[in-house]
Structure formats: structure tokens, C-alpha cells
């Protein structure tokens, strides 16, 4: 059933205090709940309807007496609930070891964990499981002392002790009122890394990272990241840690990255554990950002939470923005900051842009959903973060900080809406470009689809003026045919032909923020002698597609000279994209021009550019992003064009790749800092180019060198980079290297995940990658039950390897349907993620389109789909 944002109503009852007791047992856990219920007189009196799923109800008491109730679907209904405050006591049981959905209370590796966001708490006990119901929790855990020596819940530890039969207990109290989705318990045989810190306010805090025995030495980076996050949030936003104790726990079976439960964050081990020997630079960076993200939720999400799930981006968009800012500040140099920004934008374009133009397109603040788990999306998270970034662009960094301050002054302890956040930002910045157009700005929350901005520059030599005409248009998306103009901050500058920055006004400023708010608007610059080169949307100042119609000559000026590193990178991508699109549109083989090759050579040889930047500039646009530029998508043609561009770049720059490889070797120990990881990234790109080129020329030296490096590497980034180079080129040495890698790491699940995913993501040649991935489904290490493992093979193949997935024989779609159904029976949330691989079937060229539609229809015809998968496939069918 569809739920609509417009239907929001307060509940007729609040729950103010919760006392829970857990008698933990994998087969049957008994949960006792005492709820202090307060009648909400703002709403007419009616029955009390509590959510509950997969529970066995034992008894219900109101003020100590039994009461009549009924169970209907996923609700427990008490018709005769008093029109007053009362105490409700409920006893029920659940079966954690049977919980393969990993929502609610479940077991993993012999320990107990919970995941409650968004609606998992109702799988633990009957409750008003909605984020506007905020309560103070006291939790007692009882369990076997040997099997579960560690007993954790939110807040502060109040009491522990022994019980009969070898059992023990712990009681925890969380003083902060919280919604049920932030509830968590953990029980198991875990070990902990501890660190004490004193915050600016002079308070001492205990930080703990809990993991399985044997994983402790992989927690140092997470702990360092946590300390850095705490320091940063206090320094940048004045937001301190508010708990005596802050715990982080790792679990191997987890549907997402991590979860910000109050004082007890729970992490997928893939987002927590790292050592130089087992994790890559990318893993280290991802862990730092996810640890920060969950910690930052303590204020943006927990202290101030969401009134209803339509407001999800209130906490997620804002918290992604905060973790992105943190990563940039941690990176340090302007160029390292730009590298962070480029990576974020690349991810946005690769995932969110396609989402915004496919069947699942939805506004940052959706208007309706049937399964909220389907809306933990790149739009809510990453586009949401871009919306928050635009506030900062419009009111300035100081203004943004003032807005945050006002937001917390007004709303600490409350469950609020995106409108409340917008109002705080505007009210803290009267007279700002935001305040004067707040209503129009808020269309970013309500309109789906990526706006297209077209720029047309006109130079008037006689008048010495340059007129920039900007136009915007947002394409129709399912359910939203007509869109109003949005408020688009366009940070820009003008360069002369030689790359000199031009003064934009009498003050001599060389950068300005234009605010495009109409469908069409012109901006005039005076005293412009010659036709300039516009550098628009610097730093990617708005999440739009920009068509500035720049010639290659103009792009080359930007690539060489723009003061904005983001736009320098963007110029490199546009140069490549233009070539690839031209070849695809003409249906001709791609031939790289010598101008393009020389530009790339100049980047590679540049004495001042950072290796990290070079690696990004020399990496061709991703196939998903290329597909976005086309009305009809032929995944095979795109792949062929990209592979051809890559092969040509590999050959033409061979000597420079060798030089880059050699110049970027690192002596000494491993650290994941931006400078070293940039060097490793460029060396790995160079190596993969050299191995690729060797496949064409028949040279055996570079594959041999890659194999040697693979064997001898002292860290995972180098080892995996060399392995990836061999696998991507389908070199003969790939097979022995893969075998050796597996033998070396067979006991480390996270590394074996990489092993699966590398093979499933490899560039397709003649269907070999698909065949290999399919055979890996039978590998003894493969299982659908562990989400990381399932994703390592299936998400890699179906979501991230279009050329392996979209086949003329439709075998990819057959596999998709079969795997979605198999996973759905175990874990609907995971199945629904995988099912999104066919979101954009209607944009495919034939024969893919018809075959893909047929596969979607076949899945949709199954009567017993989860609501999760049903919503995805039905939206997909409706989008055709």
C-alpha cells in the first residue's frame, strides 16, 4: 500500500518511557516491554494500534490488568485503550537465528545484533514504530555468560551481575529521548579497543570499538577516524560528544554500511576493519568517511531527528554533506580537497543521475512510498547532500554555520522536517540570496529529475561586453510531468584565450556566483575585450547537467589553466566524452585525435599536478555516465567505445605510462594519506595501461612485472592493483594470480569479497566475464546469505558491469530474475537493491529492451514477492 507524505498525522498516543528486558536465546528470545503511554490530546481518541512483525505475543496488560486486543496484519490493536495516560506491558518472543532479513534482532557469527532503521524495531517488540515517537529507554539483557560475555545497549551502563544457570545480565540507560529506529543491542563474545578522550568542554569520554576475536588489530584506523570526527565536529560546528561512552561494533552480516544507533553504532565489518595488508586505500578512505558519517548523525539525526520517513534526507543529506566536508578538511591541501570533490561528483553522476532519469526517480523528499527501505537512495543521500551544499554556497560558510546553530537552538530533542531546516538556514541569513528565494529553492526537495542547464555566451566586441545566457529545463519523471525552474547557484569565472582569469566587475573579482532562478536569464559582464572562455559550475556548484557547448579548444584552455581544479578535471572528462559520444552517435569506430592524446600526455607529464589528480583526469568517464548522455542505450556499443579509447590511450602514451609508473613508487611503510594513495592510484592506472597495451603488442614484460608486483606487494592497494591489471586485460597470468590470491586470503572474508567482485566487474570480452561470474555462483565460498558476499558477485555483475550483464541472448536477465527471487526469499532489502539493475530497461536499445522488460514482467508476476521487490518491479513496468 502506498503511504503519502501529505497524510501525516500525529499519533493519538506518545510513548515516553520504555523498559525492555531481553532473555536472549538464538531460537527463542523473550522480550518484556513496559511502556509509559501518554495520551496525545491533540488527536481524537481512538484505539491504540501498535506495529509488530514476526512476533509471538504472550500477554498484554494495561495498568497491571489484562485487556482484550486483536491482531490484524502487522498490527496489535487495543480497542479499549484509555483516553488517558497508562502503563502498557507486553511480553512476546522472536526467533533471532531464523531472521535472515537482518532487520530487527538477529544472530551473526554466534552473536546477537540489531538493525532497526527504518522499521526493524517492530520485529523486536510491539511498538509505535515511527520516528516522531521519542522515548527514554532502559534495557536489561540476560544471556549465557560464556557464549555472550559482552552485553551492550544504548547509553550508559547502570548495573551488571550474575544470574542462575550460568547466565548474567547488564542494564543500560539512555538519557536521551530517541525514536525506536535508533535502538540497538549487541550480545556476544567480542573484544574491544578502547581510547579515552577529553573534549574541549573538559569532559572525559570512553570510546570503544568492539569486534570479533582476531580482528582487533584491524580497528586502529576506525578508532583514529572516530577521534578525528569528534574533534572536527566540535571545531567546525561546535557540536560536542554528549555521552560518557561511545561504542562502535562490527558485524559481518549487515544490509548496509553502518547504523547510527545512539551511542552504539553498528557497522558492517567492510566499513570498519582495515589493515595495510588486507584493505586498499579506497577502503581506508571509505571507513574514515563512514565512521565520521555515523558519528555526525549523533547531532544530525539523533539529537534532531525526522518527523516521518519522507524527511529522511533531513538527516541523511545533511550528514553526507558533513562527512564530505570532513573528508575534505582531513585531506588538507586544496588539490587533495578537489580530489575528494571530484570523487563525490563522479559517484553522484554514476549512481544518482541514472536513478533520477529512471523508473525510480523520486524527489529528495519523496511524496509517497510503499516500502521505505527502497528510499535509502543516492537521491536521498547524495543529491540531498548537494542540496545542503547549495545552502552553503548561497549563504557562505559562516552563514551556514549560523544556520546550523539556529537549527539546533530551535529543534534539539525534536522530530522535525526538511522545511524546518530550510527555515533555520534562511532565518539565520536574512538578506541572503537564499532567504529571498526560499520557496523556489525548496523545489530541490519536491521535484525529481536532474535539471539541464544550457549556456550560451555572446561577445560584443564593439560594446566590450560578454553576455551569458543561461537556460534551464528539468525533464519529466514518473508522476511529475511539468517542472518549475529551480534555484541554481552557478559559481563561475571567465578566462582569456591564454588562460588568464578576467576581472568580472570593477572590484576586480575573478569569481562570482550567478543565481539562475528563471527558465532563462542573461548575465552581462563589462569590459571584456576578447571572446572569453567561460568556466561554469565551478566545484560542481549544483547537481545539474551542464551543456556549455564549449569547443575542444576552449576545453583545452580550461584543462590547462582554470583556477578551479574541479573544472580542470571536468574539461578532461568532457574532451573524452565528446569523442566517445561522437563515435557512438555516428556508429563509427572511435579514433582519438592527436590533440586529445597530446592533452592527456601533458596532464600525465605535468610537473605540478598531483598524481591523484592525474589519475582522475586520465580515467575515462564511466559507462553508466556515458549511457546517461544518450536517449537510447546500447551497453555493448558503449563498452566497445570505451575499451577502444582505453587501448588507444594505453598505446599512445606508453612511454609516459612507464615514466609515471616508475616515478610513483613509494619507499618505506604504508600510510593511507592522500599523497601516498594518489601515487599508488596513478601507479596502478599506469600499470593497468601497460598490461593492457601488452595484450595488443604481445609484450610479456609488463604482465610479468605486474605478476611480480602482485606477489611481492607489501600492501593490498598495490597487490590488488596489480591483480586487477592482469584480470582486466585478461592476461594469461590472471588465472594463477587469482588462484594464489584466494589461497593467501581464504580465511579473510572481506578480502575474498574483493576476489569475487574483481572477477564480476572485469571488463567484458566475448562473454567470458559473464560466464566466469556465473560459475562463481557455484564456488564453495559463495553464499546468498551474507549480504557482502552476495553483493560482491551479484551487485558487481548486475549493477556495475553493464557490458557483462546486457547480452543479446538475454542470459543476464534470466540470471537477474532467478537471483532476485532467490534472495527475496531470504532478505528482501538485499533483493530489492539487486532488482534495481533493470530500472532503466526502457532506455535500452533492442534487443535488450524487450528482453529486459520480459524479465521484469516475469518477476512482477510472482504472487509472493516481498513489498520491497514488488515496489521496484512495478515501478519499472509502469515506466515503460
Q: Which three cell numbers stand for residue 300?
A: 544530525
Of residues 385 and 879, the one with the C-beta less far from Zn ion: 385
E strands present in 272-344 = 305-306
CA dihedral 236, 237, 243, 244 (to 10 degrees): 40
Output the smallest distance, CB 258 to Zn ion, in A: 8
Q: Which three cell numbers stand for residue 191?
A: 573484544
Of residues 271 and 859, the one with the C-beta less far from Zn ion: 271
Of residues 293 and 337, the one with the C-beta less far from Zn ion: 293
Of residues 421 and 441, the one with the C-beta less far from ligand ARG: 421
134-142, 257-265, 590-598, 838-846 -> range binding ligand ARG (CB under 6 A): 257-265
- Residue 323 lies near ligand ARG (rule: CB under 6 A): no
> Which DSSP symbol is given to 337?
H
The answer to whether the beta carbons of residues 260 and 179 sit under 8 Å apart is no
Output the smallest distance, CB 117 to ligand ARG, in A: 5
> What b/e readout covers 718-757, taking b as 16+ CB neighbours within 10 angstroms?
bbbbbbbbbbbbbbebbeebbeebeeebeebbbbbbbbbb
Of residues 319 and 835, the one with the C-beta less far from Zn ion: 319
Site string for ligand ARG, 333-372 (x = CB under 6 A): ----------------------------------------
26-34, 252-260, 394-402, 672-680 -> range binding ligand ARG (CB under 6 A): 252-260
Assign 532 to helix, strand or coil.
coil
Q: How many CB atoms lie within 10 A of CB 332?
A: 12
207-215, 253-261, 353-361, 647-655 -> range binding ligand ARG (CB under 6 A): 253-261
User: Which residues, in sequence order, are CB contacts of 677 under 8 Å at separation 6+?
Assistant: 281, 284, 285, 612, 717
- Residue 373 lies near ligand ARG (rule: CB under 6 A): yes
Among 258, 359, 470, 737, binds ligand ARG (CB under 6 A): 258
- Residue 117 binds which entry of Zn ion, ligand ARG, none, CB below 5-8 Å type-dependent: ligand ARG
The neighbouring-strand residues paired with 602 are none
d(CA 50, CA 45): 15
Of residues 265 and 472, the one with the C-beta less far from Zn ion: 265
Say what angle helices 334-347 and 674-697 make with each other, to 10 degrees.
60
- Residue 256 binds which entry of ligand ARG, Zn ion, none, CB below 5-8 Å type-dependent: ligand ARG
Which of 19, 117, 294, 628 is catalytic? The answer is 294
The count of residues interacting with ligand ARG (CB under 6 A) is: 11
Output the smallest distance, CB 611 to ligand ARG, in A: 31
52-60, 185-193, 256-264, 709-717 -> range binding ligand ARG (CB under 6 A): 256-264
Output the smallest distance, CB 609 to ligand ARG, in A: 34
Q: How far does Cα 780 stand from its chain's mean position?
A: 30
Rounded to 5 degrees, φ, ψ at 545 are -95, 125
Output the smallest distance, CB 259 to ligand ARG, in A: 5
d(CA 376, CA 143): 34
Of residues 317 and 493, the one with the C-beta less far from ligand ARG: 317
90-98, 255-263, 558-566, 789-797 -> range binding ligand ARG (CB under 6 A): 255-263
Site string for Zn ion, 318-337 (x = CB under 5 A): -x------------------
Q: How many CB atoms lie within 10 A of CB 189?
A: 14
Among 13, 299, 376, 770, binds ligand ARG (CB under 6 A): 376
Judged on CB neighbours under 10 Å (0-12, 13-18, 19+), 460 is exposed
| Dihedral sign (CA 125, 127, 132, 136) | negative
46-54, 214-222, 251-259, 803-811 -> range binding ligand ARG (CB under 6 A): 251-259
User: Which residues, in sequence order, are CB contacts of 492 under 8 Å at separation 6+?
Assistant: 468, 511, 512, 513, 514, 534, 535, 536, 537, 538
Q: Which three cell numbers stand for residue 677?
A: 594513495
Rounded to 5 degrees, φ, ψ at 193 are -95, 135
DSSP 613-627: HHHHHHSPPPHHHHH
Output the smallest distance, CB 474 to ligand ARG, in A: 27
Output the smallest distance, CB 316 to Zn ion, in A: 5
**C-beta contacts of 672-676 below 8 A and 24+ residues apart:** 672/221, 672/276, 672/281, 672/284, 672/285, 674/331, 674/332, 674/333, 674/336, 674/339, 674/612, 675/336, 675/610, 675/612, 676/281
Output the smallest distance, CB 48 to ligand ARG, in A: 26
d(CA 274, CA 88): 45
The count of residues interacting with Zn ion (CB under 5 A) is: 2
Among 294, 325, 570, 623, binds ligand ARG (CB under 6 A): 294
- Residue 260 lies near ligand ARG (rule: CB under 6 A): yes
Of residues 69 and 232, the one with the C-beta less far from ligand ARG: 232
Output the smallest distance, CB 833 to ligand ARG, in A: 9
Of residues 260 and 610, the one with the C-beta less far from ligand ARG: 260
Of residues 117 and 693, the one with the C-beta less far from ligand ARG: 117
Among 182, 247, 256, 314, binds ligand ARG (CB under 6 A): 256
Pairing type for strands 452-460 and 465-473 reads: antiparallel
Q: H-type helices in 206-253, by residue range? A: 220-237
Output the smallest distance, CB 256 to ligand ARG, in A: 4
The answer to whether the beta carbons of residues 306 and 289 sit under 8 Å apart is no
Catalytic site includes residue 294 = yes
The answer to whether the beta carbons of residues 542 and 386 sit under 8 Å apart is yes
- Residue 316 lies near ligand ARG (rule: CB under 6 A): yes
Of 72, 273, 144, the closest CA to residue 749 belongs to 273
Measured at CB, which residue is nearest to ligand ARG? Answer: 376
- Residue 656 binds which entry of Zn ion, ligand ARG, none, CB below 5-8 Å type-dependent: none
Q: H-type helices in 333-483, by residue range? A: 334-347, 353-356, 378, 384-411, 418-427, 438-441, 443-446
Of residues 316 and 623, the one with the C-beta less far from ligand ARG: 316
Q: Which three cell numbers stand for residue 296?
A: 555526525
Among 259, 395, 617, 798, binds ligand ARG (CB under 6 A): 259
Output the smallest distance, CB 261 to Zn ion, in A: 12
Output the smallest distance, CB 266 to Zn ion, in A: 12
Output the smallest distance, CB 463 to Zn ion, in A: 52
- Residue 76 lies near ligand ARG (rule: CB under 6 A): no
Q: Which three cell numbers stand for residue 630?
A: 544518450
Judged on CB neighbours under 10 Å (0-12, 13-18, 19+), 219 is buried
Instruction: Output the CA–CA distances (angstroms, integers) from residue 496 to 502, 503, 759, in the order listed.
Output: 7, 10, 47
207-215, 317-325, 472-480, 715-723 -> range binding Zn ion (CB under 5 A): 317-325
- Residue 373 binds which entry of ligand ARG, Zn ion, none, CB below 5-8 Å type-dependent: ligand ARG
- Residue 174 lies near ligand ARG (rule: CB under 6 A): no
DSSP 659-677: HHHHHT---S-----HHHH
Residues 424-483, interacting with ligand ARG (CB under 6 A): none
308-316, 463-471, 772-780, 846-854 -> range binding Zn ion (CB under 5 A): 308-316
- Residue 376 binds which entry of ligand ARG, Zn ion, none, CB below 5-8 Å type-dependent: ligand ARG
- Residue 117 lies near ligand ARG (rule: CB under 6 A): yes
Site residues (vs Zn ion, CB under 5 A)? 316, 319
What are the residue numbers of the active site? 294
Site residues (vs ligand ARG, CB under 6 A)? 117-118, 256, 258-260, 293-294, 316, 373, 376
Amino acid at each position: 500500500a502506498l503511504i503519502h507524505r501529505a497524510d501525516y498525522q500525529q499519533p493519538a498516543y506518545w510513548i515516553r518511557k520504555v523498559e525492555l528486558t531481553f532473555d536472549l536465546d538464538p531460537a527463542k528470545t523473550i522480550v518484556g516491554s513496559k511502556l509509559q503511554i501518554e495520551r496525545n490530546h491533540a488527536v481524537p481518541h481512538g484505539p491504540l494500534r501498535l506495529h509488530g512483525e514476526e512476533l509471538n505475543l504472550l500477554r498484554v496488560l494495561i495498568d497491571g490488568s489484562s485487556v482484550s486486543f486483536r491482531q490484524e496484519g502487522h498490527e496489535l490493536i487495543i480497542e479499549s485503550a484509555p483516553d488517558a495516560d497508562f502503563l502498557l506491558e507486553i511480553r512476546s518472543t522472536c526467533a533471532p537465528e531464523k531472521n535472515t532479513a537482518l532487520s530487527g534482532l538477529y544472530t551473526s557469527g554466534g552473536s546477537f545484533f540489531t538493525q532497526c532503521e527504518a522499521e526493524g524495531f517492530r520485529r523486536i517488540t510491539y511498538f509505535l514504530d515511527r520516528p516522531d515517537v521519542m522515548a527514554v529507554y532502559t534495557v536489561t539483557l540476560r544471556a549465557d555468560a560464556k557464549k555472550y560475555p559482552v552485553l551492550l545497549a544504548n547509553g550508559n551502563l547502570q548495573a551488571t551481575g550474575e544470574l542462575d544457570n550460568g547466565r548474567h545480565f547488564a542494564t543500560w540507560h539512555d538519557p536521551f529521548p530517541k525514536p525506536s529506529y535508533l535502538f540497538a543491542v549487541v550480545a556476544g563474545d567480542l573484544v574491544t579497543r578502547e581510547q579515552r578522550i577529553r573534549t574541549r568542554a573538559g569532559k572525559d569520554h570512553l570510546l570503544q570499538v568492539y569486534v570479533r576475536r582476531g580482528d582487533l588489530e584491524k580497528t586502529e584506523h576506525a578508532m583514529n577516524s572516530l577521534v578525528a570526527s569528534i574533534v572536527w565536529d566540535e571545531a567546525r560546528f561546535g557540536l560536542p560528544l554528549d555521552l560518557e561512552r561511545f561504542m562502535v561494533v562490527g558485524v559481518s552480516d549487515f544490509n548496509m554500511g553502518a547504523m547510527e544507533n545512539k551511542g552504539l553504532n553498528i557497522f558492517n565489518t567492510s566499513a570498519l576493519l582495515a589493515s595495510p595488508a588486507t584493505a586498499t586505500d579506497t577502503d581506508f578512505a571509505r571507513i574514515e568517511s563512514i565512521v565520521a558519517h555515523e558519528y555526525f548523525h549523533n547531532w544530525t539525526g539523533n539529537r534532531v531527528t525526522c518527523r516521518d520517513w519522507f524527511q529522511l534526507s533531513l538527516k541523511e543529506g545533511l550528514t553526507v554533506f558533513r562527512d564530505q566536508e570532513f573528508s575534505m578538511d582531513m585531506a588538507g591541501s586544496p588539490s587533495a580537497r578537489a580530489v575528494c570533490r571530484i570523487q563525490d561528483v563522479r559517484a553522484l553522476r554514476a549512481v544518482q543521475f541514472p536513478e533520477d532519469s529512471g523508473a525510480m526517480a523520486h524527489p529528495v523528499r519523496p511524496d509517497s512510498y510503499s516500502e521505505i527501505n527502497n528510499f535509502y537512495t543516492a537521491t536521498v543521500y547524495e543529491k540531498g547532500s548537494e542540496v545542503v551544499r547549495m545552502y552553503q554556497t548561497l549563504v557562505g560558510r559562516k552563514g551556514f554555520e549560523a544556520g546550523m546553530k539556529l537549527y539546533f537552538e530551535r529543534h534539539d530533542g525534536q522530530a522535525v522536517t526538511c522545511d524546518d531546516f530550510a527555515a533555520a538556514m534562511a532565518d539565520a541569513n536574512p538578506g541572503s540570496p537564499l532567504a529571498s528565494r526560499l520557496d523556489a529553492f525548496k523545489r530541490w526537495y519536491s521535484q525529481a529529475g536532474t535539471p539541464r542547464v544550457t549556456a550560451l555566451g555572446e561577445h560584443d566586441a564593439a560594446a566590450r561586453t560578454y553576455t551569458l545566457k543561461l537556460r534551464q529545463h528539468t525533464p519529466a519523471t514518473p508522476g511529475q510531468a511539468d517542472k518549475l525552474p529551480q534555484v541554481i547557484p552557478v559559481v563561475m569565472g571567465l578566462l582569456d584565450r591564454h588562460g588568464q582569469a578576467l576581472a568580472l566587475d570593477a572590484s576586480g573579482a575573478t569569481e562570482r556566483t550567478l543565481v539562475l532562478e528563471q527558465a532563462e536569464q542573461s548575465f552581462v559582464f563589462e569590459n571584456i575585450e576578447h571572446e572569453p572562455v567561460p568556466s561554469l559550475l565551478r566545484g560542481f556548484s549544483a547537481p545539474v547537467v551542464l551543456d556549455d557547448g564549449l569547443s575542444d579548444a576552449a576545453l583545452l584552455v580550461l584543462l590547462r589553466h582554470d583556477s578551479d581544479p574541479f573544472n580542470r578535471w571536468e574539461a578532461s572528462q568532457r574532451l573524452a566524452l565528446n569523442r566517445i559520444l561522437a563515435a557512438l552517435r555516428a556508429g563509427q569506430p572511435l579514433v582519438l585525435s592527436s590533440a586529445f592524446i597530446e592533452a592527456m600526455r601533458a596532464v600525465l607529464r605535468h610537473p605540478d599536478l598531483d598524481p591523484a589528480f592525474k589519475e582522475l583526469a586520465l580515467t575515462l568517464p564511466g559507462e553508466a555516465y556515458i549511457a546517461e548522455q544518450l536517449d537510447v542505450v546500447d551497453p555493448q556499443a558503449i563498452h566497445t567505445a570505451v575499451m577502444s579509447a582505453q587501448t588507444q590511450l594505453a598505446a599512445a602514451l606508453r612511454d609516459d605510462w612507464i615514466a609515471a609508473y616508475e616515478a610513483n613508487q613509494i619507499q618505506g611503510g604504508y600510510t593511507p594519506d592522500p599523497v601516498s594513495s594518489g601515487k599508488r592510484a596513478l601507479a596502478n592506472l599506469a600499470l593497468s595501461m601497460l598490461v593492457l597495451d601488452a595484450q595488443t603488442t604481445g609484450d610479456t614484460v609488463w604482465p610479468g612485472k605486474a605478476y611480480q608486483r602482485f606477489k611481492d606487494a607489501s600492501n593490498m592497494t598495490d597487490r590488488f592493483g596489480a591483480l586487477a591489471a592482469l584480470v582486466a586485460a585478461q592476461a594469461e597470468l590472471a588465472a594463477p594470480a587469482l588462484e594464489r590470491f584466494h589461497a593467501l586470503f581464504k580465511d579473510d572474508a572481506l578480502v575474498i569479497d574483493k576476489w569475487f567482485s574483481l572477477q564480476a566487474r572485469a571488463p567484458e570480452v566475448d562473454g567470458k566475464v559473464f560466464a566466469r561470474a556465473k560459475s562463481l555462483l557455484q564456488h564453495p565460498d559463495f553464499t546468498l546469505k551474507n549480504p557482502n558476499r552476495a553483493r560482491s558477485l551479484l551487485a558487481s555483475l548486475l549493477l556495475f558491469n553493464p557490458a557483462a550483464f546486457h547480452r543479446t541472448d538475454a542470459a543476464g536477465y534470466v540470471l537477474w530474475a532467478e537471483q532476485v527471487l532467490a534472495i527475496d526469499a531470504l532478505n528482501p532489502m538485499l533483493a530489492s537493491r539487486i532488482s534495481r539493475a533493470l530500472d532503466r530497461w526502457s532506455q535500452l536499445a533492442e534487443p535488450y529492451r524487450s528482453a529486459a522488460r520480459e524479465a521484469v514482467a516475469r518477476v512482477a508476476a510472482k504472487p509472493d514477492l516481498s513489498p520491497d521487490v514488488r515496489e521496484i518491479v512495478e515501478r519499472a513496468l509502469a515506466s515503460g
